[in-house]
């Protein structure tokens, strides 16, 4: 019997996204297929065309509901340092 080695610096295994987040994305995908998933804040931007966009909307809705979703990767602002002369 071969035994598995445990790597030293490994995090505990768990769900990256919660079940509620998965449900929200699944719902968004169904609405995309049906043609009722809309873009924009109030849904005036037209229907969603791409799969990735549907997933992003689903995750966004899950975040608003408070589901377990990792933070968005946002661009960090560069700190402007003053040069001393």
The pLDDT tens digits along the chain (85 residues) read 566 666 665 567 788 999 999 999 999 999 999 999 998 888 788 899 999 999 999 999 999 999 999 888 877 666 666 666 6
| Through-space distance between the first and last CA atoms of the chain, rounded to whole angstroms | 68
Which 3 state secondary structure label does DSSP give 85? Answer: coil
Instruction: Give me the residue spans of the domains in the chain.
Output: 19-37+47-65
49 and 39 in contact (C-beta within 8 Å)?
A: no
pTM of this prediction? 0.66
């Amino acid at each position: 019997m071969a035994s598995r080695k445990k790597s030293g610096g490994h995090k505990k295994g768990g769900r990256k996204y919660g079940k509620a987040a998965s449900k929200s994305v699944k719902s968004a995908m169904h609405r995309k297929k049906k043609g009722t998933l809309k873009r924009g804040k109030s849904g005036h931007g037209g229907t969603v065309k791409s799969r990735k966009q549907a997933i992003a909307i689903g995750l966004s809705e899950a975040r608003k509901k408070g589901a377990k979703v990792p933070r968005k990767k946002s661009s960090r602002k560069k700190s402007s340092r003053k040069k001393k002369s």
